[in-house]
């Protein structure tokens, strides 16, 4: 994935990154970080919960956008 992004950046091609994929990558990074004290462990736990919440919101927004796009296409067909 990183090679493809680098190649597209160098060639000047547009880079489309899906929000859900970015959130998942961040979640994986946060999950893989090893902490040694309780304070940092709590911070990482809070960060994971925030990412889960963001992921839920993005999923909800995508569903809403899809529903609105369907409504718009129906309205355009009626014209």
The ranges assigned to domains in the chain are 18-78
> What pLDDT does 1 receive?
60
HEC per residue, 3-61: HHHHHHHHHCCCCCCCHHHHHHHHHHHHHHCCCCCHHHHHHHHHHHHHHHHHHHHHHHH
Distance CA 28, CA 77 (A): 43
pLDDT score, position 58: 93
Residue 37: predicted pLDDT = 93
Residues of the chain with pLDDT under 50: none
Q: What is the pLDDT of residues 6-22, one digit of tens each?
A: 776 677 666 667 888 88
């Amino acid at each position: 994935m990183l090679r493809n992004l680098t190649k597209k950046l160098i060639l000047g091609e547009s880079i489309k990154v899906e929000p859900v994929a970015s959130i998942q990558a961040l979640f994986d990074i946060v999950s893989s970080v090893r902490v040694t004290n309780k304070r940092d462990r709590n911070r990482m736990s809070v960060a994971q919960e925030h990412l889960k919440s963001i992921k839920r919101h993005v999923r909800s927004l995508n569903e809403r956008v899809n529903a609105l796009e369907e409504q718009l296409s129906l309205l355009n067909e009626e014209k």
